[in-house]
Every structure is written in C-alpha cells, then in structure tokens.
C-alpha cells in the first residue's frame, strides 16, 4: 500500500487535521482493524471501496462517498480490489464547521455522505468524476471545502478543550477543563457531544489510548507496566481493560495482528506531512 499525508491549505487548517491518500494495486486482503483516533473523516473512493466486516460475519461494501464520525471501537475493513482513496481527517471538533448535523448522531458507524449532506455529496461526486488520482482529488476537495466552512458553528471553548486533551494525551481533569473553558461541566459535555460526537471524558480516553499505541509502536519490547505508567493508567490491569474496550484485544494481541490499515490511523510523533 502507498500511503501519504498532506497538510491542509491555510483556510482549512483550523478545521482539517490532514488529508491522506491510499493506493494499492492488490485485490482482496484479510480484514484489518481501524482503531479510534478521535477524528472524524470524509472518505472518497476513486476505485473499489473497502468492505466492512459486520458482527454476523458478512462483508458489506461501503459507499464510494462516506462520512466516518467518531469511532467508539474498532472497525474491521478490507480492500475489495484496486484502491485509490482520499481521506479528509478533521480535528476532533472540526467537522462541526462543515457538517450541519450534531456529531453524536454520526458517531460509531460510517455512512453514505448523501444521507448527511446532499450538497456535499453532489460536490464530491463531481470531484470523483474529474479527478484522475487521489492527489488531484485532494486539490479539488479543498477548494470545495473552503466554501462550506461555517466558522460560526465552531465554538472556541470546545476548541480550547480539545487542544488541552490532545496536549496532555488525555491526562486532564474534566472538571478543571470545564472551569478553564469558563463552562459548567454539564454545559461542556453537552456542547462536546454536538461538536465532537463523544463526551470529553471519552475523547480523553481515546487520546490516552493513542498515546499507548504510539509507545507500543516505538518499542514493541517495552514492558506493559511501563506503558501503563507512562500513559497514566492506575495499573497494568486498568491499561489492558481500557485497551480491550477500544481495540477489541489486549496490547500484546494488537502487536501481533496490526496491519497496514491500523498504522495509518495512529497519530505518529514527529511525522512530517507533505505540504
């Protein structure tokens, strides 16, 4: 697989974390896990879309234009043929400035973009028709997205809270976070659900989980107790229990099963995006 990350244009920097392209000439794969990373995405397939493994064991072909809100647990995907994919990865609260639907309604399961925003779906369908490859699509998509951004829907207090969670890798008191954002905890949680799709405590848990994934990826021989302590878990049992909730397996099992798709959805320290 050929994977590439691209920095967004300045007009989208406060909304979009990055764009990414994925291409492969190979056919079917075994399903691989995609893990929660706290960032919703818009996905455009220019070739065969991925297939999602359902709980009953069936594979369901995904739409060629889809919106993936906040993942609350692992998603098992496999390419169904030659792939040419463009993804727009938003900041945790960034999609609220593009998609005029409460984000909690979109969390947990990818869905066709046409079910969320007919204008966006029509615009991106035209990109699919015009673009020769994902890189060209990234240019066309950004030009279109700039026209859809409504910054009035982006609450700076939620942006402040999201940044604090990211900066601390999730090790932050939600009560203190609400106080710093000059909101009550209940108001913060309500606004967070609408703008981010999950409560602040859940986003903090995902941030801590992603920190653990990075540490495991950097040193596969690192003792679990060290990782648990570095990520602020009470003990190794707490670490394993929380990891299972989000990844569907233990940390050790994750290291044995992780594939190419898994690695694309782990935020990497020091990774330089292509401008």
Question: Mind listing the pLDDT tens digit of every residue in the chain (275 residues)?
Answer: 789 999 999 999 999 999 999 998 876 567 888 899 999 999 999 999 999 988 888 999 999 999 999 998 888 888 888 999 999 999 999 999 999 999 999 998 899 999 999 999 999 999 999 999 999 999 999 999 999 999 999 999 999 999 999 999 999 999 999 999 999 999 999 999 999 999 999 999 999 999 999 998 887 777 778 889 999 998 889 999 999 999 888 888 887 766 545 554 455 433 434 33
Walk me through the domains of the chain, giving residue ranges and CATH numbers. 2-151 (2.60.120), 156-264 (1.10.10.60)
Asked if residues 210 and 266 have their Cβ atoms less than 8 Å apart, the reply is yes
Per-residue DSSP letters for 95-123?
A: GGGT--S-GGGGTTS-EEGGGT-HHHHHH
Check: CB of residue 178 under 8 Å from CB of residue 188: yes
Backbone angles phi, psi at 168, to 5 degrees: -100, 5
Residue among 69, 62, 68, 25 nearest 45 (CA): 62
């Amino acid at each position: 697989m050929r994977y590439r990350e691209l920095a967004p244009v300045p007009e989208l920097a406060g909304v979009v974390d990055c764009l990414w392209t994925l291409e492969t000439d190979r056919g079917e794969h075994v399903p691989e896990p995609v893990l929660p990373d706290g960032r919703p995405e818009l996905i455009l397939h220019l070739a065969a879309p991925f297939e999602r493994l359902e709980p009953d064991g069936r594979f369901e072909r995904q739409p060629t234009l889809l919106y993936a809100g906040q993942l609350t647990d692992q998603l098992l995907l496999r390419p169904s043929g030659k792939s040419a994919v463009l993804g727009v990865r938003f900041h945790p609260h960034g999609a609220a400035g593009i998609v005029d639907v409460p984000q909690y309604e979109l969390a947990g399961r990818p869905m066709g973009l046409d079910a969320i925003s007919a204008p966006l779906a029509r615009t991106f369908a035209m990109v699919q028709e015009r673009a020769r490859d994902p890189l060209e699509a990234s240019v066309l998509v950004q030009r279109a997205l700039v026209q859809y951004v409504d910054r009035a829907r982006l609450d700076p207090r939620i942006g402040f809270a999201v940044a604090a969670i990211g900066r601390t890798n999730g090790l932050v008191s939600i009560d203190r976070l609400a106080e710093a954002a000059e909101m009550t905890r209940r108001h913060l949680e309500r606004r967070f659900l609408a703008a981010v799709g999950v409560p602040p405590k859940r986003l903090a848990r995902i941030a801590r989980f992603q920190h653990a994934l990075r540490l495991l990826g950097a040193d596969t021989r690192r003792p679990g107790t060290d990782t648990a302590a570095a990520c602020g878990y009470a003990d190794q049992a707490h670490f394993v229990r929380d990891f299972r909730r989000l990844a569907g397996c233990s940390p050790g099992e994750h290291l044995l099963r992780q594939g190419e798709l898994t690695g694309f959805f782990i935020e990497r320290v020091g990774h330089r995006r292509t401008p």
